[in-house]
Amino acid sequence: MAQALTLLQRTLLVSLLAAVGVLLAYGYQDVHLVPGKHYLARDMQPLHDIVRKYMRYSTAATSFVELQKGWSSCGLACKSQDVQDVVLNYTWHVNVPLSDGFIAVHPLDNEIVVAWAGTHRYRAVITDMSVITVPFIPGARMGVHSGFLDSVRGVIDEVKTRLKMLLVDYPDSMVIFTGHSKGGAEAALSALELVRSIPELRSRMRVWTFGEPRLGDVEFAGYYNSQLGTVTYRVTSAADPVVAMPPQFLFNYCHHNLEIWLIGTQGDVYVSQNRTGCFEDPSASQSVSFYERSISWHKNYLGLPPPDHAAAEFSW
């Protein structure tokens, strides 16, 4: 009887949450949004909570670069309950090619988090500016940002080894790839790299990126979308200039789907439409002109960061 009641309660809960477009199940969150639709902030609180949660992980990865001593020394970025509840499994801080991040387990939410750091070291700018494209798969006609790809492949073998063990140790957990800015690009690329070598990962993964720059050319965007387009949420904030870089005229750069555009400061949302060719909806973030963009929007994703950004300064 108790089990039946629990099942009934769960069914009612799922129905209620589905009515507002968000389904919470097995400890992770899935967002069900209609492409081409505009949503008002008052209907988006569940989505806002999810965005804030994964943005905190992304910010913690960036803040964690300097400290390397655990959450207690990671500043404001690591004081949120979301971050405090995860258990670090592995961290990396590679200088050549530059890459920083962590793998952690959130037992209560049944999640394994793979978080990549954004541009928090001066030398990361060199990575950002390595915009010449190289083949993602040898012999295939699809180009990807060489700087981001080098950063990912410099550490991907160790990440893969750790992740394989965690997938066995936590068979019911989802794997969340996340990152802000450069970290968002690396999160998406690492997810694509790993799903090619760990087939069982595909049904257990989600990719949440914030302020992600373009990763590669039109052919690569199409390939990414065919592989992970249904499990990727590319969140962009209002007039964030980084999401418009590198420019489309340069090596035919193009974004992959799916873009969730946070409009202004109130939290309204527009979901990009799936498109052929280059997958960028002119009604989404690309509708913002160059002159309207400001780096302040790159630093503000529903208020994170700040106030959750650590006090750490840039370093080499």
Look-up of token digits 């990763």: 215
pLDDT of 121 reads 56
AA identity, residue 59: T
Residues 206/27, Cβ–Cβ less than 8 Å? no
Which sign, positive or negative, has the C-alpha torsion 189, 127, 257, 278?
A: negative
Return the beta strands (E) in the chain as ranges.
22-25, 28-31, 38-39, 87-94, 99-106, 111-116, 133-135, 143-145, 174-180, 205-210, 216-217, 232-237, 253-254, 259-263, 268-271
Statement: residue 16 has pLDDT above 80: no
Statement: residue 22 has pLDDT above 70: no
At 1, is the pLDDT very low, low, confident or very high (cuts 50, 70, 90)? Answer: very low
At 29, is the pLDDT very low, low, confident or very high (cuts 50, 70, 90)? Answer: low
Lowest-confidence region among 24-28, 183-187, 268-272 = 24-28
pLDDT of 64 reads 62
Pick the residue with more confidence: 191 or 247?
Answer: 191
| Span 174-188, average pLDDT | 94
Query: Ranked by mean pLDDT, which of 7-11, 90-94, 213-217 comes out on top?
Result: 213-217
pLDDT of 55 reads 87
Look-up of token digits 């968002």: 184
Going from N- to C-terminal start, the domains of the chain cover: 42-298
- Across the chain, what does the average pLDDT equal? 80
pLDDT digits 0-9 by tens, 98-135: 888 999 999 889 999 999 988 665 455 555 566 788 99
Query: Ranked by mean pLDDT, which of 20-34, 67-81, 263-277 comes out on top?
Result: 263-277
At 23, is the pLDDT very low, low, confident or very high (cuts 50, 70, 90)? Answer: very low
Helix (H) or strand (E) holding 268: strand 268-271
CATH architecture classification, 42-298: 3-Layer(aba) Sandwich (3.40)
